[in-house]
């Protein structure tokens, strides 16, 4: 029996992540308490509304549990609002994040007109993702700024980093759970899936 990946299920797009993981043969379950978070073999922090997620986490110990899972080296996949929670700093409103992604998350950085879009990303780190363009769904996405020296940029949109890796954490400012492309999940959980097989 392998331990499932936990998908934080307080709010947001957690069901689609569960379905995407299932398509890849990766066992996951929704997690809603600090105990469930700690008992997971890796975590997904989904998109949604980061301000709501902070409110729902208050006083639950979930934030501390997420940090503990990250510190013990388990794979973390954080997307959109999840990437915002993970950042070192967050703007509008300004506050500290969990400090797992060495970057500042600039919330809603694309402005009203361009806030949601399906974009074909071609500026990719080919050694990691291969040469095929990556379809990416952006929904009121943040931008990542002030990247620390240990953060690798794996994909850019108009020069802005949209897929990055910081040690055992991979952050996407878009929504890989809404696209059919498995490459981004493989990046995070490929090794774990191979181990389980
Ligand atoms: N705009 C949202 C936030 O700031 C993130 C959007 C998303 O997760 N799709 O939390």
Compute the distance from residue 141 Cα to the ligand 1 centre, in Å. Answer: 6
Q: Which of 153, 138, 14 is nearest to 80 (CA)?
A: 138
Binned at pLDDT 50, 70 and 90, residue 111 comes out as confident
Q: Ligand 1 pocket check: which of 8, 14, 49, 97 to mutate, most ligand atoms within 8 Å of Cβ? A: 49
Residues 81-95: pLDDT tens digits?
999 999 999 999 999
Residues 22-58: pLDDT tens digits?
998 999 999 999 999 999 999 999 999 999 999 999 9
Tell me what pLDDT residue 195 has: 45
Residue 196: phi and psi, rounded to 5, are -70, -30
Q: Given the CA of residue 50, which atom of ligand 1 is nearest to it? A: 10
Q: Given the CA of residue 46, which atom of ligand 1 is nearest to it? A: 8
Compute the distance from residue 78 Cα to the ligand 1 centre, in Å. Answer: 12
Residues 122, 129: Cα–Cα separation, whole Å: 11
CA angle (140 as vertex; 102, 29 as ends), nearest 5? 70
Tokens of 46: 């989904």
Q: Given the CA of residue 49, which atom of ligand 1 is nearest to it? A: 10
What positions carry a catalytic annotation?
Answer: 80, 175, 177
Residues 64, 69: Cα–Cα separation, whole Å: 9
Q: In sequence order, which ranges of 72-182 are alpha helices (DSSP H)?
A: 81-86, 126-129
Residue ranges of domains in the chain? 5-196
Q: Ligand 1 pocket check: which of 140, 162, 176, 179 to mutate, most ligand atoms within 8 Å of Cβ? A: 140
CATH topology of domain 5-196: Rossmann fold (3.40.50)
Q: Give the 3-state secondary structure of residue 58.
A: coil
Percent of the chain beyond pLDDT 70? 95
Exposed, middle or buried by CB within 10 Å (0-12, 13-18, 19+), for 182?
Answer: middle
Tell me what pLDDT residue 190 has: 80
């Amino acid at each position: 029996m392998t331990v499932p990946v936990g998908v934080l299920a307080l709010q947001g797009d957690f069901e689609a992540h569960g379905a995407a993981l299932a398509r890849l043969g990766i066992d996951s379950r929704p997690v809603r308490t600090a105990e469930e978070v700690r008992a997971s073999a890796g975590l997904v922090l989904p998109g949604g509304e980061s301000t709501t997620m902070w409110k729902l986490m208050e006083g639950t110990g979930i934030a501390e549990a997420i940090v503990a899972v990250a510190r013990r080296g388990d794979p973390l996949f954080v997307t959109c609002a999840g990437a915002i929670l993970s950042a070192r700093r967050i703007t509008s409103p300004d506050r500290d994040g969990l400090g797992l992604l060495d970057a500042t998350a600039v919330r809603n950085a694309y402005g009203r007109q361009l806030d949601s879009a399906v974009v074909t990303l071609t500026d990719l780190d080919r050694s990691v993702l291969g040469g095929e363009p990556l379809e990416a769904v952006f929904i009121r996405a943040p931008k990542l700024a002030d990247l620390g020296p240990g953060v690798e940029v794996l994909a850019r949109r108009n020069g802005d980093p949209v897929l990055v890796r910081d040690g055992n954490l991979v952050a996407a400012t878009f929504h890989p759970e809404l696209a059919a492309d498995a490459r981004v999940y493989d990046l995070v959980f490929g090794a774990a899936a191979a181990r389980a097989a």
